């Protein structure tokens, strides 16, 4: 793997003491007695200064475009937040402790709950981009939460397929996929009463890892205990991947969860997707992901390395 391009670390607007350089916090984990938007925090959530659902460019009238069949446009609005995961300048998930990462997951859950109950959003996306090739623009450990009144096409398709499968079989598609993975066995990394971890058959990237908590279907139902279990699992596998792919490998960490405006069609899960292979011409022409080696090979190596470290 070639080294990823560096992401700017300094100046660091997310560092402790730079609170005035971000919008005011909407959530934080702080030392007792400290004030909002001041020193003494361990984690802060602030509105994104450059939100994806931004305002249109000044002077541009988009209304004729919205009415045209040949130029379809789907306007949407929403809230876009940044989770600043630590007060000091750490740049990699593996530099966080399991307790700190559990706090991050807990902050995601609590903010998703708050946004879900606002009554104005139809979907909430939670994602973490680490490294230039994964889309990060700032090096300081952070993640993002994007709630919108729009349901992205991929999420719509997940709901359609999951609902159709339930109507035909009376069973959950995601859990049946896990059962099929368990019967096959080659792609399973870990499976116990709390968590299932495997390399999906239809991997999106090389070393794609999926984490399925075996509790409630909604992310907002996850307990602090489960957040701790998940944080240790994600951190452990991120460290194993770093030993394979090199320090600072780029990746995306995403929470896949059902849309808010319909009955729950599938349980939430987390995907860790290293970005070590690139989209090229065939992928752009075909919409088919090319993976340089199989998920079976990935899982075999990951199982072996996990057994070595304990």
Q: Is 308:243 a contact under the CB 8 Å cutoff? A: no
Confidence of residue 61 (pLDDT cuts 50, 70, 90): low
Minimum mean pLDDT among 138-147, 166-175, 223-232, 290-299: which range? 290-299
Nearest Cα to Cα of residue 198 among 160, 159, 233, 239? 233
Distance CA 211, CA 273 (A): 11
Mean pLDDT within 205-225? 94
Question: What is the set of domains in the chain, with CATH numbers?
Answer: 19-50+73-309 (3.30.428.10)
Confidence at residue 2, expressed as pLDDT on a 0 to 100 scale: 64
What burial letters (b/e) apply to 55-71, b meaning 16+ CB within 10 Å?
A: eeeeeeeeeeeeeeeee
Q: Model confidence over 108-127: pLDDT tens digits?
A: 999 999 999 998 999 999 99
Higher-scoring residue by pLDDT: 280, 146: 146
Q: Model confidence over 1-18: pLDDT tens digits?
A: 567 777 877 899 999 999
Q: Is the dihedral of CA 168, 265, 54, 77 positive or negative?
A: positive
Confidence at residue 67, expressed as pLDDT on a 0 to 100 scale: 56
Average pLDDT over the chain reads: 92
Does 66 score more than 60 pLDDT?
Answer: no
Q: How many CA atoms lie within 13 A of 197 on its CB side?
A: 25
């Amino acid at each position: 793997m070639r080294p990823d391009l560096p992401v700017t670390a300094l100046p660091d607007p997310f560092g402790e003491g730079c609170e005035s350089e971000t919008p005011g916090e909407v959530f934080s984990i702080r030392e007792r007695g400290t004030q909002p938007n001041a020193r003494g925090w361990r984690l802060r959530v602030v509105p994104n200064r450059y939100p994806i659902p931004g305002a249109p460019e000044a002077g541009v009238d988009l209304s004729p475009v919205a009415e045209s069949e040949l130029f379809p446009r789907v306007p949407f609005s929403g809230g876009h937040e940044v989770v600043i995961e630590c007060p000091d300048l750490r740049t990699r998930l593996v530099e966080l402790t399991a307790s700190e990462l559990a706090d991050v997951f807990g902050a995601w859950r609590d903010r998703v709950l708050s946004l879900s109950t606002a009554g104005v959003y139809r979907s909430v996306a939670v994602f973490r981009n680490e490294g230039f090739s994964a889309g990060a623009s700032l090096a300081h450990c952070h993640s993002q939460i994007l709630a919108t009144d729009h349901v992205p096409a991929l999420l719509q398709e997940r709901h359609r397929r999951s609902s159709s499968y339930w109507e035909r079989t009376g069973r959950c598609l995601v859990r049946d996929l896990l059962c099929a993975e368990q019967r096959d066995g080659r792609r399973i990394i870990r499976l116990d009463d709390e968590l299932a971890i495997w390399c999906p058959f239809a991997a999106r990237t090389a070393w794609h890892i999926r984490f399925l908590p075996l509790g409630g279907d909604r992310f907002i139902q996850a307990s602090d205990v489960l957040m701790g279990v998940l944080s240790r699992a994600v951190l452990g596998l991120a460290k194993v991947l770093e030993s394979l792919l090199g320090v600072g490998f780029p990746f995306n960490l995403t929470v896949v969860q059902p849309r808010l405006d319909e009955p729950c069609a599938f349980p939430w899960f987390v995907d860790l997707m290293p970005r070590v292979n690139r989209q090229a011409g065939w992928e752009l022409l075909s919409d088919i992901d090319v993976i340089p080696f199989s998920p079976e090979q990935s899982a075999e190596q990951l199982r072996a390395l996990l057994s070595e470290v304990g």
